[in-house]
Amino acid sequence: MLRLLLPVAGLATLLRAANVSQRTFGIDYGCNCFVKDGRPFRYISGSIHYSRIPRYYWKDRLLKMKMAGLDAIQTYVPWNYHESQMGVYDFSGDRDLEYFLQLADETRLLVILRAGPYICAEWDMGGLPAWLLEKESIVLRSSDTDYLAAVEKWMSVLLPKMKPHLYQNGGPIIMVQVENEYGSYFACDYDYLRFLQKLFRQHLGDEVVLFTTDGASQLYLRCGALQGFYATVDFAPGGNVTAAFLAQRSSEPTGPLVNSEFYTGWLDHWGHRHSVVPTQTIAKTLNEILARGANVNLYMFIGGTNFAYWNGANMPYMPQPTSYDYDAPLSEAGDLTEKYFALREVIGMYNQLPEGIIPPTTSKFAYGKIHLQKVGTVVDFLDRLSPAGPVKSTYPLTFVQIKQYFGFVLYRTKLPKNCTEPTQLSSPLNGVHDRAYVSVDGVLQGILERDKSLMINITGKAGANMDILVENMGRVNYGRYNNDFKGLVSNLTLDQDILVEWDIYPLDIDGAVNHSIHGYRDQPERYVGNPLSYGTPTFYTGRLLIPGGIPDLPQDTYVNFPGWTKGQIWINGFNLGRYWPARGPQLTLYVPRNILVSSVPNNITVLELEHSPCSTQACEIEFVDKPVINATTLYENVPPPLFFRDMWLSYL
């Protein structure tokens, strides 16, 4: 008898190759279903954004999703997260998309990849990189030649990385979404969609299912659907499921029914109530969807956090807060909720739930109050924050014109005349994007804010420095105004006279936090600023020492800001995000344990933009073990109804 002996490694390779050759995923229009490996298949999926969750916790969150009975996850790829600077690509650490896909595969979760280039997602500029705006006339999400060239270059980097992870190639990706809710955009450019179709096919091949997602209305599907893409819809709980799927049938008479965004909660805005969607409403509609044999993706299954400056905004200009909790089945911190177990029960009526233990909610620890010390104002540190010095210009320049895409820019000019009496400083064309902190020779004058405060009165002597620190609070992510320029985007006037001759300082605060600012923390006597200037943007530092003798520390925590107004916080150089308790609804920021250390004190830097409590009460922040993201505020506006985008229609 003849025997063929193969090395073990070689045999394993052959077996893998044989397995890959049998893996298929497609659409059967005859049975109105997906077909996986030759058999009818229906997926129940949940949205998770790797960009909103620390890599440290990816596995925990994915396993909790698997144990809820999900077949698949859905995730966005934010272009600007990987190419913040033109031509500089980052797929490391928290941006390691391929490792995330590998973990999903190991957890036996399929992946629905939403590759963009535009994603919305309540993410800065809908995932498009701000450097696209260096061509001021660019028409985003269209056949604009410069836009297409940038998209083609990006996709030639991203899509080849994704191809080995396609299901038919042995990976977890069963479907790839192209663009996002394009029918809600004014351009309605079919040539653009055809360009994307050709580009995706070129890099991914002809076997992968490419699809689109639009609102469940023929109004949106008219411009969002294209032959060659499978058209799916999104709709909220509590509505008419039959009518929603009939809208999909207007574009896809046969094929699987798919709700690509079934909302488990809703987004928040600063100054509005935290959105809460009743569990029973979601469970009832989910059951209706699944009873029809339809496919569904629960958006979001876990929301996560808009760390640093990554939050987006809607129009009329309303930025989203740091927390992207979304009232999802898993909380911002990955905690199990009543909603999680209720939806798991519904899913268990249609899918066999996995055996095993659901990973528990992670422990939280209240580290208590931490004293902060004032180390200097932004102006005091100007040489360190802007080492290359200012850009000089007759008229103000925008952030992108000086290649500063996030954070803060300081604009300085000299008062052209004596303003001994209060004199009107105004932005007649609503050109402050988005919030400006105005001081004259270090004395706070007031705040200008986009759409809300276009004029203040100032005083000062001729020749005095007027400093205007402008904060980019997040670019518009939905509708026609996502070409959202930041900074002073039009002229300011002083008593009707246009102000000229500006020194414009791009500020690398994130870089300085790790170096020069903390250089003062052990030398309080070195502070050189005005000790009474608590109203101007000011840095504070402190240290958090993780207590010894307690097992399993560090643990997750939340930071609270009693008496503080608005600003940004870093821990060990990690930019946690924006705090704004004066406006709410979010009062605490989530602090994942992976950014904390127990071996040495943890460095804390706070940039308070308005008023700290330090001149009148304890100069402290507090680490607590429970979040507060639903506070009622004095700035409360009447909240729009949940799932209601019609208020934004005029901005599409």
**Which of 120-149 are b and which e, b meaning 16 or more Cβ less than 10 Å from the residue's Cβ?**
bbbbbbbbbbbbbbeeeeebbbbebeebbe
- Both tokens of 83, joined, read 């190419």
What's the CA gap between 306 and 128, in Å, rounded? 16
Q: What is the DSSP letter of 417?
A: S
Of these residues, 83, 122, 179, 181, which one is catalytic? Answer: 181
**3-class state of residue 419 by DSSP:** strand
Q: Is 261 a catalytic residue?
A: yes
Closest CA to 284 of 218, 223, 237, 333: 237
- Give CA torsion, residues 518, 520, 523, 527, to 10 deg: -150
The residues with which 541 forms a beta bridge, in sequence order, are: 373, 605
Q: Which residue has the tokens 């320049």?
A: 397
Question: Which amino acid type is present at position 146?
Answer: D
Interstrand relation of 173-177 and 209-215 (parallel, antiparallel or unpaired): parallel
The DSSP 8-state label assigned to residue 125 in this structure reads: G
Q: What are phi and psi of 620, to 5 degrees?
A: -135, 150
Query: Is 122 known to be catalytic?
Result: no
As a three-state string, the secondary structure of 459-503 is: EECCCCEEEEEEECCCCECCCHHHCCCCEECCCCEECCEECCCEE
- CA-based nearest residue to 481, from 321, 647, 315: 315
Whole-angstrom distance, CA of residue 457 vs CA of residue 446: 8
Tell me which residue of 67, 54, 16, 90 sits closest to 575, measured CA to CA. 54
- Record the tokens describing residue 291, joined without a space: 């009873």
Q: Give the closest residue to 393 by CA, choosing from 415, 413, 416, 417.
A: 413
Dihedral (CA of 142, 148, 153, 157) sign: positive
Active-site residue, selected from the candidate residues 83, 122, 179, 261: 261
CB 297 within 8 A of CB 48: no
- Report strand pairing: 173-177 vs 110-114: parallel
The residues assigned a catalytic role are: 181, 261
